[in-house]
């Protein structure tokens, strides 16, 4: 059926045209005035941006382009030069703490940075010309709102702490011993204690996992045998367990003990080195880096805290290491290099990958 087209009277047509012309004139006038008043120089644009609330201004930036590997790991494009290593999550999962070695992989000096995953901003947290290094895992404490790290400033490596809102120079010294150095600390969930790797000064072997109160009271408590070589401790979210890596029969494996230093048990096994362990947020799993006879280079794996068969997380021809699981358990952040041996590279970058569905 053909629809009849409605014809409007001439007066109505004229009235609409007049109103349209008037509206067009008003809009044109506004645009002219806006253009004249806001033809800003770069300086004026900057002043205008400063007038916008900080969070809004930060979000005006477009997200950096994402590079995705064949195994679905996604690169985090952080505008900082150097080797980006040892990523650790904030307790709200919005921020990433990491170490930047300025001259290459594990080559000091090193600084601590915080990257905001929401507005892509970067903040330098600690920098004094020495080697300031955080561990992946439980180094950012919700209760104390503090970050724990080690520093190679004179006379030798010790543990320091800084507020999450701090700036370079705000850090405070926690450990202070004459004949022993302290590396790679981790917080207890309540923030009242730390565990760290301890060595005699100028001795690189026979690391001892040591416990100490953050308020500086009490004594240093050794949790592992001085005749063994144990390193990189990480506290469980519930506070009942501490994991560490131990050198045994020429290779590193992940071990777990009770928080008081009792009931040590080996979690990983097989060929290759298993290092850089940290817990999942529910405390049921451990994520770590491992190489072996069937791997071209180290990749990321997960295993139940009770042991068993590990699950491979990344599948990459280069190096993947130093993983941390997000507080919601959905993603894992880690350092990565195209080189099989990162020591031969100029440094690593940070990547994120989804946690395996099996967990």
pLDDT by residue (tens digit) across 77-89? 999 999 999 999 9
CA distances for 234 relative to 118, 265, 279, angstroms: 27, 15, 7
State the average pLDDT over residues 19-34: 47
The two three-digit tokens of residue 103, written as one number: 């001259």
CA distances for 26 relative to 20, 36, 97, 203, angstroms: 10, 16, 52, 80
At residue 32 the predicted structure's pLDDT band, cuts being 50, 70 and 90, is: very low
Q: What is the pLDDT of the chain when averaged over all its residues?
A: 86
Calpha distance 252→187 (Å, rounded): 23
At residue 314 the predicted structure's pLDDT band, cuts being 50, 70 and 90, is: very high
Calpha distance 106→79 (Å, rounded): 19
Asked if residues 111 and 127 have their Cβ atoms less than 8 Å apart, the reply is yes
Between CA 75 and CA 79, with CA 78 as vertex, the angle to 5 degrees is 140
Structural domains of the chain in order of their starting residue, each with its CATH number: 69-354 (2.120.10.30)
Any bridge partners for residue 212, and if so which?
A: 194
The two three-digit tokens of residue 322, written as one number: 């130093």
pLDDT of residue 357: 82
pLDDT of residue 66: 85
Model pTM? Answer: 0.82
SS3 category, 319: strand
**Site of tokens 């072996």:** 292
Asked if residues 85 and 100 have their Cβ atoms less than 8 Å apart, the reply is yes
At residue 105 the predicted structure's pLDDT band, cuts being 50, 70 and 90, is: very high
At residue 359 the predicted structure's pLDDT band, cuts being 50, 70 and 90, is: low
> Which distant-in-sequence residues (6+ apart) come within 8 Å of 153 by Cβ?
128, 130
Calpha distance 198→182 (Å, rounded): 5
Percent of the chain with pLDDT over 70: 82
Question: Among 26-35, 103-112, 209-218, 268-277, whose mean pLDDT is lowest?
Answer: 26-35
pLDDT of residue 40: 39
CA Rg value for the chain: 27
Calpha distance 276→295 (Å, rounded): 17
Beta-strand relationship, 146-151 and 158-163: antiparallel
């Amino acid at each position: 059926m053909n629809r009849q087209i409605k014809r409007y009277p001439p007066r109505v047509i004229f009235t609409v045209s007049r109103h349209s012309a008037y509206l067009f004139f008003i809009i044109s006038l506004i645009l002219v005035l806006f253009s004249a008043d806001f033809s800003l120089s770069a300086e004026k644009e900057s002043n205008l941006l400063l007038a916008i609330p900080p969070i809004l201004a930060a979000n005006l930036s477009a997200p950096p382009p994402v590079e995705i590997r064949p195994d679905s790991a996604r690169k985090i494009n952080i505008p900082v030069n150097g080797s980006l290593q040892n990523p650790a999550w904030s307790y709200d999962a919005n921020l990433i703490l990491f170490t930047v070695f300025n001259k290459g992989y594990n080559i000091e000096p090193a600084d601590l940075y915080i990257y905001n995953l929401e507005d892509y901003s970067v903040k330098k947290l600690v920098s004094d010309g020495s080697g300031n290094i955080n561990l992946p895992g439980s180094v950012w404490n919700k209760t104390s709102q503090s970050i724990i790290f080690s520093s190679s400033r004179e006379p030798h490596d010790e543990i320091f702490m800084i507020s999450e809102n701090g700036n370079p120079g705000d850090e405070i010294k926690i450990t202070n011993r004459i004949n022993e150095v302290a590396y790679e600390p981790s917080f207890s969930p309540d923030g009242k204690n730390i565990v760290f790797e301890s060595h005699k000064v100028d001795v690189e072997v026979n690391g001892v996992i040591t416990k100490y109160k953050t308020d500086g009271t009490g004594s240093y408590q050794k949790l592992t045998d001085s005749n063994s070589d144990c390193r990189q401790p990480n506290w469980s979210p519930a506070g009942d367990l501490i994991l560490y890596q131990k050198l045994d029969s020429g290779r590193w494996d992940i071990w777990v003990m009770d928080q008081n230093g009792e009931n040590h048990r080996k979690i990983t096994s097989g060929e290759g080195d298993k290092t850089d362990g940290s817990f999942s947020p529910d405390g049921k799993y451990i994520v770590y880096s491992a190489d072996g006879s069937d791997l071209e280079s180290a990749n990321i794996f997960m295993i139940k805290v009770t042991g068993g068969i590990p699950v491979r997380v990344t599948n990459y021809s280069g190096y993947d290491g130093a993983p941390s699981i997000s507080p919601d358990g959905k993603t894992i952040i880690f350092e990565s290099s195209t080189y099989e041996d990162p020591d031969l590279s100029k440094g690593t970058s940070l990547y994120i990958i989804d946690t395996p569905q099996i967990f």
